[in-house]
Amino acid sequence: MDKVMIKQLLFHGSWLVFPAIVWLLWRWRKRQHRAAIAVLLLGCGVFIWARFIEPQMIVIKYTGLEGTGTAARIALVSDIHLGVYKDRRFLERLVERINEQDVHAVAIAGDLTYEPQGRSLEDLFAPLANLRAPAFAVLGNHDQQQPGPDIDKPLRAALAAHGVHVIEGRLLRDANGVHWAGLGDRWAGRDDSRFLQGGQALQGPTIILAHNPDSAMQVCAGNVAIVLAGHTHGGQIRIPWLYRKVIPSAYGFDRGEQVMQGACGPIRVFTTSGAGEIGLPMRLFNPPTIDILQLSP
C-alpha cells in the first residue's frame, strides 16, 4: 500500500468517529462504565473539532511591523497543500478572504501542494487568477521532491498561467515601489542567497520571500526589510510543549515575528502558520491563517 493510499484511508476513514459516537451514546444509556464513556466522548469531540472544523476555518491575523524601511500592506499565506486533504474549493475561499482585505500584494511562501497526483495543476490553482492584488510566490519542499513528487516545472507553469510571479533567485520592484527577492526551498538545496550580493546588491529595503525560515540564517546582505516564510505550520497540532518537538526548524522558528542572530548579524523573520495540513488531516489551536502585515518605515 503506497503512502498516498494510506493518507486517503486516514482522511476518509476518520468519518468512522460518528458511528463510534452513536455506539458510545447507546452504551451510556445502559448506565455502565459512564466515566470511561464520558472520557471517550470528550476525546471524540476534540477529534471532530481538529479533523472536521478547525482545518476548514480561515482566520485573519493583523500584525504591524515598524522599522522595516519600507511601506507595504501584504497578505502572507503559505503551506496551502492542495492535494490529498484540500482541494480547489478551499483555495476559492482563501482567495475570497484575501480579496476582502486592502493589500498591495499577496506573498505565497511555498508548499502549495501535497500529493496532487492525477490532478490538473492548472485547474487546481485556477482560483489564484481571481486575486485582486499582484501575487508573488516561491515553491516549497513538497513541491520539489523533498518529499516528492517533483512537480517544479508544471507547478511553475500553472502559477504563471494564473498571473502568479514565482520569484526564486530574482530581484524585482513591484508597481508600488516595493523591492522583493525570492529564495528557493532549503531542503531542495535551492536557497542560495549569494545573488543578493555583488552586482545585484539590494537597491532599497527589500522583502525576502522564502519557504523555510531557516533560509534566513544564511542571508548576508544589507537593506533586508524582513524575511517572510512558512514551512513550520506553527506546529499544526499546537499542544503546548509537544508541538515544538515536531516543528521542522533547526533554529527554533515557530510562527509570528522573530529576530534571530544570522550569519551576518540580526535578521528579522515573520513566519506564518499556513493554511493546509500534512501527515494528519488535522489542526488544533492553530487554524488556517492569512497574515495581514502592515510594514512601515
CA-wise closest residue to 282 among 249, 230, 235: 235
Helix 34-48 and helix 17-29, axial crossing angle in degrees, nearest 10 = 160
Which residue carries 489564484 as its cell?
Answer: 128
Cell numbers standing for residue 131: 486575486
Query: Where are the strands (E) in the chain, listed by range?
Result: 59-65, 72-77, 82-83, 105-109, 113-114, 135-138, 164-166, 171-173, 179-182, 206-209, 224-229, 256-262, 265-271, 289-295
pLDDT digits (tens, 9 = 90+) for 53-98: 999 999 999 999 999 999 999 999 999 999 999 999 999 999 999 9
Q: pTM of the prediction?
A: 0.95
DSSP 169: T
pLDDT digits (tens, 9 = 90+) for 202-236: 778 999 999 999 999 999 888 899 999 999 999 99
Question: With pLDDT > 70 as the criterion, what percentage of the chain qualifies?
Answer: 98
Q: How close are the terminal C-alpha atoms of the chain, in Å?
A: 54
What is the Cα–Cα distance from 297 to 294, expressed in whole angstroms? 10
Indicate the pLDDT class of residue 257, thresholds 50, 70 and 90.
Answer: very high
What is the pLDDT, as a whole number, of residue 201? 61
At residue 86, φ and ψ (nearest 5 deg) are -130, 150
What is the pLDDT, as a whole number, of residue 29? 85
Query: Where are the strands (E) in 68-154, listed by range?
Result: 72-77, 82-83, 105-109, 113-114, 135-138
How many residues would you count in the chain? Answer: 297
Task: Sketch the domain layout of the chain as residue ranges.
Answer: 3-54, 58-295
pLDDT digits (tens, 9 = 90+) for 8-23: 998 999 999 999 999 9
- DSSP, collapsed to helix, strand or coil, labels residue 281 as coil
Give the residue-averaged pLDDT of 281-296. Answer: 98
CA-wise closest residue to 280 among 230, 228, 243: 243
What is the pLDDT, as a whole number, of residue 31? 75
Is the per-residue pLDDT at 199 higher than 70? no
Q: CA of 252: how far to CAs of 228, 235, 256, in Å?
A: 15, 12, 12
What is the pLDDT, as a whole number, of residue 107? 98
What is the pLDDT, as a whole number, of residue 270? 98
Indicate the pLDDT class of residue 3, thresholds 50, 70 and 90.
Answer: confident
- Strand order across the 265-271 sheet: 171-173, 179-182, 206-209, 224-229, 265-271, 256-262
Amino acid at position 251, single letter: Y
pLDDT digits (tens, 9 = 90+) for 138-153: 999 999 877 767 899 9
- Structural domain 58-295, CATH architecture: 4-Layer Sandwich (3.60)
Contact between 80 and 276 under an 8 Å Cβ cutoff? The reply is: yes
Is the per-residue pLDDT at 198 higher than 70? no
- DSSP, collapsed to helix, strand or coil, labels residue 294 as strand
